């Protein structure tokens, strides 16, 4: 159990950052650093000031979402790579009390096909000139930088790669949230492509369990973990139809051409997380969807 620690969470007002803050705050001194509070991950001085005195740094801050990425690839690369560099250097300058720096990467580093992919899976990007992949590339480069700080300076680094995390509290431009809101409003659910894309969905409660497990054991230092739920596997089309059914909605699924390169399949192999963290996701897809739908009804 993580207790009596000063924990800095960058991107602390995001979906995952805020969920972690809620889990960790009752027994720790949690500080959230987020651009929406006037703090910029590209401002070295502010990052350094926030890191001082922290025993744990959880770096979730990033520019995310395909639309946001395509709209500004330069900002994506700067925030995701240079922002991480600022956090790592600030952490290195304040190593007296530091116990862990947990850096968030992405499942997208594995490219278009990640079928039960393990941590050592080979990143493959179909077109190096396609700006769709600058997010994944920025995260992959940041991984190498973080692990470089571990190998060269002994910084206690752990890498996490989330695989489609969902649940209560998710807002913003997110496909599942759009499905639920449209179904509740009796509007069409838009699926891009033919809907055969496969995803494995991990509920936020299970995901936070994995993160806390990483912080709770030194065996996680120097490792990268794929975190998701390989049981909750479904196509995008079937997910949309399932949401309509659970919402008892009259909505229809409509198909539109893909406006960008998509990922065909994304399912993690979590063998490493099971063995090192005793990670065992518990929330099934239907239960997680029901809980998420109820939250959307009451809060969005």
Specify if 1 maps to a domain: no
Specify if 213 maps to a domain: yes
Number of domains in the chain: 1
Specify if 10 maps to a domain: yes
pLDDT beyond 90 at 173 = no
CATH number at residue 14: 3.40.50.720
The string of pLDDT tens digits covering residues 82-131 is 999 999 999 999 878 899 999 999 999 998 888 999 998 887 777 878 88
Taken in order 249, 252, 255, 259, the sign of the CA dihedral is: negative
Q: What is the pTM of this model?
A: 0.95
Would you name the residues annotated as active-site residues? 135
Domain span at residue 201? 6-299
Specify if 220 maps to a domain: yes
Please tell me the predicted confidence (pLDDT) of residue 85: 98
Specify if 16 maps to a domain: yes
Please tell me the predicted confidence (pLDDT) of residue 124: 76
Give yes or no for a contact between 193 and 257, defined as CB atoms under 8 angstroms apart.
yes
The string of pLDDT tens digits covering residues 124-154 is 777 878 888 999 999 999 999 999 999 999 9
The string of pLDDT tens digits covering residues 229-272 is 999 999 999 999 999 999 999 999 999 998 888 899 999 999 99
First-residue to last-residue Cα distance in the chain = 32
Rounded to the nearest 10°, the torsion over CA 233, 275, 219, 283 is 40
């Amino acid at each position: 159990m993580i207790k009596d620690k000063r924990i800095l969470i960058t991107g602390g007002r995001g979906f995952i950052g805020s969920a972690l803050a809620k889990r960790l705050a009752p027994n720790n001194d949690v500080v959230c650093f987020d651009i929406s509070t006037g703090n910029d991950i590209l401002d070295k001085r502010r990052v350094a000031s926030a890191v001082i005195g922290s025993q744990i740094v959880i770096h979730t801050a990033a520019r995310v979402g395909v639309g946001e990425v395509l709209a500004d690839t330069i900002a994506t690369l700067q925030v995701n790579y240079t922002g991480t560099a600022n956090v790592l250097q600030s952490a290195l300058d304040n190593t007296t009390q530091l116990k862990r720096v947990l850096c968030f990467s992405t499942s997208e580093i594995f490219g278009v096909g990640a079928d039960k992919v393990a941590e050592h899976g080979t990143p493959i990007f179909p077109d190096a000139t396609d700006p769709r992949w600058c997010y994944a590339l920025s995260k992959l480069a940041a991984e190498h930088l973080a692990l470089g700080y571990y190998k060269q300076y002994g910084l206690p680094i752990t890498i996490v790669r989330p695989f489609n995390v969902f649940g209560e509290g998710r807002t913003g431009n997110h496909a599942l949230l759009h499905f639920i809101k449209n179904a509740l409003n009796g509007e069409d659910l838009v699926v891009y492509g033919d809907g055969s894309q496969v995803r494995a969905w991990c509920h936020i409660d299970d995901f936070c369990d994995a993160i806390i497990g990483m912080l709770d054991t030194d065996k996680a230092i120097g490792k990268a973990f794929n975190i998701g739920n390989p049981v909750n596997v479904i196509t995008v089309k079937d997910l949309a139809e399932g949401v309509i059914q659970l919402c008892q909605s009259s909505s229809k699924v409509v198909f539109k051409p893909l406006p960008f390169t998509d990922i065909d399949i994304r399912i993690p192999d979590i063998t490493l997380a099971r063995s090192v963290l005793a990670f065992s996701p518990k929330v099934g897809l239907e239960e997680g969807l029901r809980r998420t739908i109820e939250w959307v009804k009451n809060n969005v």
